[in-house]
Amino acid sequence: MAKIADTVYSLIEDTVLSLGVTLWDVRFVKEGASYYLRIYIDKESGVTIDDCVAVSHAIDPIIDEADPIDKQYYLEVCSPGVERELTRDWHYTASAGKRVTVKFFSAVSGKKEFSGTLEADKDGLYLITDEGRMPLDRSKIAKAYIEYQD
């Protein structure tokens, strides 16, 4: 299913950008008996319902013509939300300076979950926690997301 999402991402990225929004992520998932193709978009000023409708109308014919999905599915276009998951390499660098929660596949220093400020520089990614500066290896991260700040 990840391959389908990557294919769709490549197909629609330029079109989404031409509409003045960023393509944050694409996910193809099965929930119950139904499949969903979820397109997550972002915009500096915030995503509106009009943005979602415009993107949906623009990408639907592109996806239909390429026909990368051999199952019936529902197309959803939405915002990634304030506690957005970081799934792509560029998400981490774009989120530098923000507070994030990182969950690892295996314990690091006896813990699997850490919160702190994300830092990115030419040498790599780091999480600044109360315990110090922790290097981040993306291959060891199970899930990372931005924390909501009031």
CATH superfamily of 2-78: RimP-like superfamily, N-terminal (3.30.300.70)
Domain covering 89-146 in this structure, CATH number? 2.30.30.100
Give per-residue pLDDT as tens, 38-86.
Answer: 999 999 999 999 999 999 999 999 999 999 999 999 999 999 999 999 9
Q: Considering the entire predicted model, what is its pTM?
A: 0.86
Tell me the pLDDT band of 131, cut-offs 50, 70 and 90: confident
Domain ranges in the chain?
Answer: 2-78, 89-146
Q: How far apart are CA 94 and CA 89, in angstroms?
A: 9
Count CA within 13 A, CB hemisphere, residue 95: 29
**Rounded Cα–Cα distance for residues 55 and 57 (Å):** 5
Tokens of 44: 């500096």
